[in-house]
Amino acid sequence: MGWTIFANTPALMTELADTNLLTYIQKNQNTPLKTILSILLQISQALEFIAEQGIIHRDVACRNILIIFDENNIIAKLADFGLCCLFGDTLTPRNSIYKRFPIKWLSIEALINCEFSEKSDVWAFGILCYETFSLGAVPYSDMSNSEMIEFLQSGQRLKCPMKTPHLIYDLMQNCWKKEPKDRPKFNEISFHLRSMLEKETANYGYLNLKTSSLKIIHI
């Protein structure tokens, strides 16, 4: 195996992943809720870690989460740092926003003012949660970019995907607060996801995403 990189360019090497989260959730529509919560917690912890290092990812989405099957466990890893930047180095020319960035995952302040921060990654994490519970649906799929911006500026947000636990949709809505300061930090998100996972593990709960109602099955 070989590789080529520019001198002094940081590089990230990981083991070969089995799939990505988008493909996984599309192919495994009966995934237990506790498995989904575990994956989301791992992603939140990864984003919490890079925020502590002063890094903004700027491309948080299901397609950029590697999934590795390890015996009976699923390991999720944050990948694709091609758009990341450091805190304090977040000014981005407006014309490059629409050429380079995943528009439908961007926060209001990124779309309008080209401003990025941990809180813009938090917004994108909320979109990732929407993707996960909608089985990989594209957000704002029936809107153009301009329609989406108008929709968000009017205070509207994505609807709750079917079978999504209310605590998860509450989390999504908190991630989509208009003002960045009103959104949770990743350490807070990790805390809440960990609490939900512990409760779900204790209840042996499973979420059937294909059924017409949320069912908790005790085994």
Q: Which pLDDT tens digit goes with each residue over 69-91?
A: 998 899 999 999 989 998 876 55
pLDDT of residue 44: 99
193-208 average pLDDT score: 78
- Name the average pLDDT for the chain: 88
pLDDT of residue 6: 73
Residue 15 carries which side chain, given as an amino acid letter? E
Q: Is the confidence at residue 48, as pLDDT, over 90?
A: yes
28-45 average pLDDT score: 96
User: How far is Cα 118 from Cα 115, in angstroms, rounded to an integer?
Assistant: 10
pLDDT of residue 98: 53
| Tens digit of each residue's pLDDT (9 = 90 or more) over 138-148 | 999 999 999 99
The answer to whether the predicted template modeling score (pTM) of the entire model surpasses 0.95 is no
Beta-carbon count within 10 A of 115 CB = 16
pLDDT of residue 16: 85
User: How far is Cα 4 from Cα 63, in angstroms, rounded to an integer?
Assistant: 24
The alpha carbon of 110 is separated from its chain's Cα centroid by a whole number of angstroms, namely 16
User: How far is Cα 110 from Cα 133, in angstroms, rounded to an integer?
Assistant: 24
Q: Which residues are catalytic?
A: 59
150-160 average pLDDT score: 98
Backbone phi and psi for residue 55, each to the nearest 5 degrees, phi listed first? -110, 135
118-133 helix and 166-175 helix, angle to the nearest 10 degrees: 150
- Chain position carrying tokens 């903004």: 56
Full set of structural domains in the chain with CATH: 19-203 (1.10.510.10)
pLDDT of residue 204: 61
User: How far is Cα 107 from Cα 144, in angstroms, rounded to an integer?
Assistant: 16
User: How far is Cα 71 from Cα 45, in angstroms, rounded to an integer?
Assistant: 22
Q: Is the confidence at residue 31, as pLDDT, over 50?
A: yes
Candidate from 130-134, 175-179, 215-219 with smallest mean pLDDT:
215-219
DSSP state of 158: P
Contacting residues for 55 by C-beta, under 8 A, at least 6 apart: 81, 84, 85, 86, 87
pLDDT of residue 219: 35
Which residues, in sequence order, are bridge partners of residue 55?
86
